[in-house]
Every structure is written in structure tokens, then in C-alpha cells.
Amino acid sequence: MLNRLSRRCFCTLAPRPWLFVGLGNPGDKYHGTRHNVGFEMIDAFAHSQGILMDTVHSKAIFGKGFVGEVPVFLAKPQTYMNLSGESTGPLAAYYKLPLNQVLVFHDDMNLPCGVLRLHDKGGHGSHKGLKSVIYHFRGNREFPRLRIGIGSPPGQMDPKAFLLQKFNVTARQRIDEALQEGVDALKLLLVKGLAKSAKGFNKEQKYKHLRVQNLPV
């Protein structure tokens, strides 16, 4: 696989590789929690493409493969959420990737549960995992991200407790649907590029946002 990657990645005409990084917390304790949907998106994409997440690289569970002719690296940092940059930064540096080829998947409380957005850059929005990634990118915020809506805490619930809760049945169904939508969007991105794929995808997700924003979860 490594020789194949070397031959195909560094040919002058070969498509540029992508690094997809899903943010989350390692361990069974956090499996299925709202804060770990970034990990779930990586797993869903890896499964859809037959990419094995079977190695460790730069403090991350790691896999690599091709989607068509495009080389793709997949990573789930095992540093715990708040230190995600300790893995993401070295991975991008190791593969000498420009930051516009590093796509970070993360949970977002500012979007309704199951609603997605694909952006080419942005801030951290008080997300500590993103904050760490930006820090280890030397303050550079111009890297794409896939925001995965998990909804907001009900009433006066502590946001930290909300993030570490598992999804109820209704929310789980919405997230499973969103994971498939995310996989489809990522496959399109690898064919058409970020700008073209994001435009249509975000329009669809905007309509979805309007449909579900007031529905109970």
C-alpha cells in the first residue's frame, strides 16, 4: 500500500491527497456520545470505502486508501478532544499537506441534531478540539471543516454534561442519517472539489435545518 501511495501520490498529474480528521475522545466510556460524532463520521466513511483503520500514526488511529484516484488519509486522534491538535498538526506536517487539504469533522451545538455544514475555513466557536487544532496549525484557521449538528443542551443543562451524553433513539436516528449524508458529501468533494460540492450540499442542509429545527429530539 505504501509503495502504491508513493507511486500515485507524487506523480505530477496525480490528484492531491486529503487528510480527514475526526475529533473525539478515545475509549469505550465515550463511544456513542455527542462529542464523538467526528469519530463516527470517520468510521462511516472508512467503512463505505473499505479503508481499514488499523494502524497508529502521530497519536491517532489511522487508515489510508484511495477513493477513485484520490489518496485519502483518515485519522482519529487519541489525545482526548482538548489536545486534538497534538495529533492533527504532526499528521499534516508529516504528509506535507497544505491546510486546505486537511478536513476536520467535529460536533457542533449551534446546529440542530443531524444537520451538517461544510466550510472551507472558520474559527473555533469555543470548541476546544478545534481550538487545539488551530493552535498546532500556528494560528491558521484556513482549513476546511465538516460541522455535525448535535443540538443544544435543554434548559439549564451543563453543556459539558450534554456533550458526554449518549444520543436518545430519535437523535440517534438523525445522526445515522446525517452520517450517510456526510459520506455522500465527502465522496462528491473528492471528485468535484470543496467549493463546488459544498455549495450544493450546504443548500440541501439549509433546507433540512428549516425542517428539523423545531422538532423534538
Residues contacting residue 187 through CB under 8 Å, at least 6 positions apart: 48, 67
Grid coordinates of 191: 471528485
pLDDT > 50? residue 10? no
Tell me, what's the pLDDT at 214?
87
Among all residues, which ones are annotated catalytic? 35
- Whole-model pTM: value is 0.93
- Cα(116)–Cα(132) distance, integer angstroms: 22
The predicted pLDDT at position 215 comes to 87
Please give the grid coordinates belonging to residue 59.
497519536
pLDDT over 90 for what percent of the chain?
91
Average predicted confidence (pLDDT) for the chain: 94
Question: What is the rounded average pLDDT of the residues 46-51?
Answer: 98
Would you say residue 123 has pLDDT above 90? yes
pLDDT in tens, 151-189: 999 999 999 999 999 999 999 999 999 999 999 999 999
Closest alpha carbon to 166 in 143, 187, 144, 150: 150
pLDDT of residue 1: 52
